[in-house]
Amino acid sequence: MKILFAIAFSILGLSACASKSPLSNQPTKNSAKAMQAPYVLLVSIDGFRWDYIEKYKPKFLNQWVKHSARLESLRPAFPTKTFPNHLTIVTGSYPQRHGILANSFYAPDLKKSYSLRKSEAVLNPDFYLVKPLWVLAQEQGMQAASYFWPGSEAPIAGTTPAMFMTYDHNKPHQERIDTVIDWYQLPAAQRPHLTTMYFHDVDAAGHDFGQDSPQLIAAINKVDNSIKTLVQKLKQLPIDVNIVLVSDHGMAQRKPSDFEKLPTWLTEQYYVKGSGPIVHIYDTKSASNTLVQTVEKLNATAQHFKCYRYQDIPPRFNASQSRRIGDIACLADKDWAIGMIGHRPVGDHGWSQFNTTDMDGIFYANGPAFKKSVKLPTLENIHIMPLLAHILGLEIPHEIDGNLQSLAPLLKTSKD
């Protein structure tokens, strides 16, 4: 465990694992103001589609959500991928603003590639262009913690959460829960007021086995049991915690045969990244005068996709302001995959969020800041960060794309 300060857990008889950190100016305790702020636990269930509660009826969540403040569904940002949307949730910004345009992409401005599988890229703060909520918290004297969240290990603007974990795909759920509970039992001066958690199981099962599979149902029930345990343990604490349960995107079924191969000449002229619902094509050889012709040539023979110069991507995608999406971006039709080689997942995501609800995720919130049993229609995930910042009493000193007004009707007022 990487913890940026060492303290004695005198009450618990435990000790924090200290690590050397270059972030010497980072505060190691809550300010007097922060100590008066509410507690927020933001939990992500990767790939949990908006209709899984009703469709599969996991025992605990099926009842818990009925008493929650919630959305009909949560609309992800484009592209509907894991890293872009997790950063959107904590920055309130579309990927074109916060800089993480895909799980793997090339950044022409940095002349470097990003990949969720390369720690040196994930830990490089230069890729992250907007401060996540935990950075604002730490900068404003509030302790934050993260038991996994994309970007939480990187010193963005020179700051990480006060407590964070190096990602381990195989870390048991119980260990995650116990650690978060331990954090909430720290002395008030060190106790995090913003904490994030992440569970990958549902996304993995959706990819590998698809809808209605026993494996997907088992993964949903596994996470359901873990959320139940987490909620029960939180109730035993002497503090009230606002639990906000979200997902980054949904999941759609596809046939492995529904794949269209891109022409091989592309790799002779361009740097091609990705295979699946979206392919990113980068002009690294200064052939920009041929981009228009390349798009026309690709679209002339395309059967199940359409390509755009990045600046011509339709406005509804909010993706036309950054070359990191690709000098050319090719978008596959719903349930189709494209690329230079075959794409095999049984389930997938990454398609447009506007022509299907399959890409929609969840937003459920329960705690002293939220009304009970109130539901709003589908809204975008850009609005989560300003909502949480408001609850925590944090200022947002820079421009973002989300706003507080959209989700504010979920909050309790003085009249409630």
Whether 82 is a known active-site residue: answer yes
Q: With 0-12 CB in 10 A as exposed, 13-18 as middle and 19+ as buried, what is 115?
A: middle
Q: Tell how far CA 229 is from the center of its chain.
A: 23
Q: With 0-12 CB in 10 A as exposed, 13-18 as middle and 19+ as buried, what is 35?
A: middle
Supply the DSSP string of 19-88, one letter for each residue. Answer: ---S-TTS--S--TTGGGS-EEEEEEETT--TTHHHHH--HHHHHHGGGSEEES-EEPPSS--HHHHHHH
Count how many residues are written for the chain. Answer: 416
Taking a C-beta distance cutoff of 8 angstroms, is the pair 47, 249 a contact? yes
Taking a C-beta distance cutoff of 8 angstroms, is the pair 334, 351 a contact? yes
Query: Choosing from 80, 82, 88, 179, which is the catalytic residue?
Result: 82
Amino acid identity for residue 20 in this structure: K
Supply the DSSP string of 343-355, one letter for each residue. Answer: ---SEE--S-SSS
Beta-carbon contacts of 95 under 8 Å, excluding residues fewer than 6 positions away, are 77, 78, 79, 84, 87, 88, 101, 102, 318, 319, 322, 325
Pick from 263, 278, 273, 274: nearest CA to 331: 278
Pick from 377, 371, 353, 373: nearest CA to 88: 353
Which residues are known to be catalytic?
Answer: 82
